[in-house]
Amino acid sequence: MSFKNLRQAKRSLTLKDFRHLHSKAEEAVADLNKSELQLIKILQLIESNMVDRWCGYNSLFE
């Protein structure tokens, strides 16, 4: 969907288009939430490894 101007967009957009755009936006938010959760888990792992090194351990298995 590409429009040359806003007037053209207003005429051709239907409720069905908005539903599609809304579901695309919801998918993007869900992907963002998944990525954010993965980043938080990685940061927690890094932080726990830093604490282990501060305590003198090279890894969790020593």
Predicted confidence band of residue 57 (pLDDT cuts 50, 70, 90): low
**Res 5: pLDDT:** 67
Q: Which residues contact 18 (CB under 8 A, 6 or more apart)?
A: none
Distance CA 32, CA 51 (A): 29
**Res 50: pLDDT:** 78
Q: What is the pLDDT of residues 11-55, one digit of tens each?
A: 666 777 778 888 999 999 999 999 999 999 998 888 887 776 767
Tokens of 44: 């927690």
pTM attached to this predicted model: 0.51
* DSSP annotation of 56: T
* pLDDT exceeds 90 at position 10: no
- Size of the chain in residues: 62
